[in-house]
Amino acid sequence: MFVSALLIIVGFLGLIFGAHWLVDGASALAKKHHIPDLIIGLTIVAFGTSAPELVVNLVASLDGFSDIVLANIIGSNNFNLFIILGVTGLIFPIAIQASTAWREIPISLIITIVLFGLANDFFIHQKSEISRLDGGVLLLSFICFLFYILKQLKRDGIEPLHDIPKSAIKIWSLILVGFIGLLIGGKLVVDNSIGIATDLGVSQKIIGLTIIAAGTSLPELITSIVAALKKNSDIAIGNVIGSNIFNILLILSISALVKPITYNRIFNQDLGILIGGTVFLLIAMFTGKRKKLDRWEALLLVGFYLMYTVYLVSKEF
């Protein structure tokens, strides 16, 4: 089990560094072909922060581990909302732009409710699964969301990317090494997580909601903490809400298109918590200091998540 845990850590490092190198290489390649920073930021960089979840889900989906696929997405979103936002808010109260309070947070809430309906087949009476049709609906919604973000970025502007290597050898080396790192990292995380779950006699759901979800959310956690320390709350909140939307509309849709995902209704509880947490965040915008996540509200988020995690783990033993 110790070896499996060590290999999971190695896998997470592969995912994180692989995503970083792939983004740097792809961004350099795009800049070399004179693609605007706006488009690079919207596509390549945004994809980079979601790459760990995507690779883990593709590996799990192809191997038929539906619970890992679902637990990774739902668990990552809950981790983003309760821990990343909570810890960030404890470091420095998060001021939220009006557009985020009135648009992005409600969008995140709506798509989570839609996912709940699709997974339970409230719209089409079939067995509980996220079918390829459902995946197509989510992917179409993602494309619409991209157009919305593109419109926002054109209006607000985007910071230019940092200088990155321009030589062809460096560019393709970064892309190749990053891609390999993602593939190997994703395989190590999934295979060894399943091994630990088997050894401990716990469900794939618990491993996915805790170890895998937290590990694949490390890029967002680091980004948000750094943003909070620099008192740049726009990046902190945008990073979390954007990641949650990307995870459902892009990562889950691609996973379902690759292979339909059998939905275990035990995840209704976790989706309900995600919906409740998003509603809490929306309400927090209009209590205390308006459009700000205060420290006491951030503490509630962190405290609830820790108690819920203890409850989930205790049910397994």
155: confidence class by pLDDT, cuts 50, 70, 90: low
What is the average pLDDT across 185-214? Answer: 84
Rounded to whole angstroms, what are the CA distances from 181 to 73, 155, 208?
21, 36, 20
Rounded to whole angstroms, what are the CA distances from 301 to 72, 78, 292?
19, 10, 14
Instruction: Report yes or no on whether pTM surpasses 0.85.
Output: no
- Residue 300 burial by Cβ neighbours in a 10 Å radius (0-12, 13-18, 19+): middle
What residues make up the domain containing 170?
2-315
Structural domain count of the chain = 1
135: confidence class by pLDDT, cuts 50, 70, 90: very high
DSSP H helical ranges for the chain = 2-32, 37-40, 46-62, 66-78, 85-91, 98-99, 105-119, 132-156, 168-200, 204-207, 213-216, 218-229, 233-246, 253-258, 268-284, 295-315
CATH number of the domain to which 118 belongs = 1.20.1420.30
Write down the pLDDT at residue 138: 95
Write down the pLDDT at residue 249: 94
Give the β-pairing of 129-130 and 261-262: antiparallel
Write down the pLDDT at residue 241: 83
List of residues 6+ apart from 227 with CB closer than 8 A: 88, 233, 234, 235, 236, 239
